[in-house]
Amino acid sequence: MKTNTQLKQILQSEGFRYTPQRQMVWNELRKMGGHHDCEEIYDELKSKGTRVSRATVYRTIDVLARNGMVRKLEVGDGIARYEAKEDEDHHDHMICLDTGDIIEFYDEELERLQEKIVEKHGYTLVKHVHQLFVKKK
């Protein structure tokens, strides 16, 4: 569980300022849990009376993503979604085409295989996108 102090340290170590807006966006996304877009975060904050502008939500989410606090997820509907990265391990996503549900999965062997393939081509793996679009059986 990342504390606000840790958020402060991470931001400041990169030359970013530790502002109340950034705290609010970060804490809100953590509290919400799951995968959410900027508009949802903005609405949630607004409904609580806190004043964080839409632009700041977008900017903050971007800062957090660049610093590994948050993960960006694009499922193909043109809306970027984000999830707070606590201490949890890496995982990929299954998206149910019936319900829109996002199920997380992790497979050791799958991760290894990707590395192997990339190496075979003379490259280094920086990141990957792996999404399985499924239907209920």
Out of 4, 6, 12, 99, name the contact with DNA by CB under 7 A.
12
Please tell me whether residue 43 binds Zn ion under the rule CB under 5 A. Answer: no
List the interface residues with a second copy, window 91-120 (CB under 8 A): 94, 96-97, 103, 105, 107, 109-110, 113-114, 117-118
Buried b (16+ CB within 10 A) or exposed e, 2-36: eeeeebeebbeeeebeeeebbbbbbebbbeeeebb
What are the two backbone dihedrals, phi and then psi, of residue 72, each rounded to the nearest 5 degrees?
A: -90, 140
Cα 33 to Cα 38: distance, rounded to the nearest angstrom: 13
Please tell me whether residue 67 binds DNA under the rule CB under 7 A. Answer: no
Residues in contact with a second copy, counted by CB under 8 A, come to a total of 31
List the interface residues with DNA, window 89-118 (CB under 7 A): none
The token pair that represents 100 in the structure block: 């829109």
Please tell me whether residue 118 binds Zn ion under the rule CB under 5 A. Answer: no
The token pair that represents 68 in the structure block: 């590994």
Task: Choose among a second copy, Zn ion, Mn ion, none what residue 131 binds, the Cβ cut-off being 5 to 8 Å by kind.
Answer: a second copy
Q: Min. distance of Cβ 125 from DNA in angstroms? A: 24
Q: Residue 28 in contact with residue 45, Cβ under 8 Å?
A: yes
Q: Residue 22 in contact with residue 70, Cβ under 8 Å?
A: no
By CB under 8 A, name the binding residues for a second copy. 74, 76, 94, 96-97, 103, 105, 107, 109-110, 113-114, 117-118, 121-137
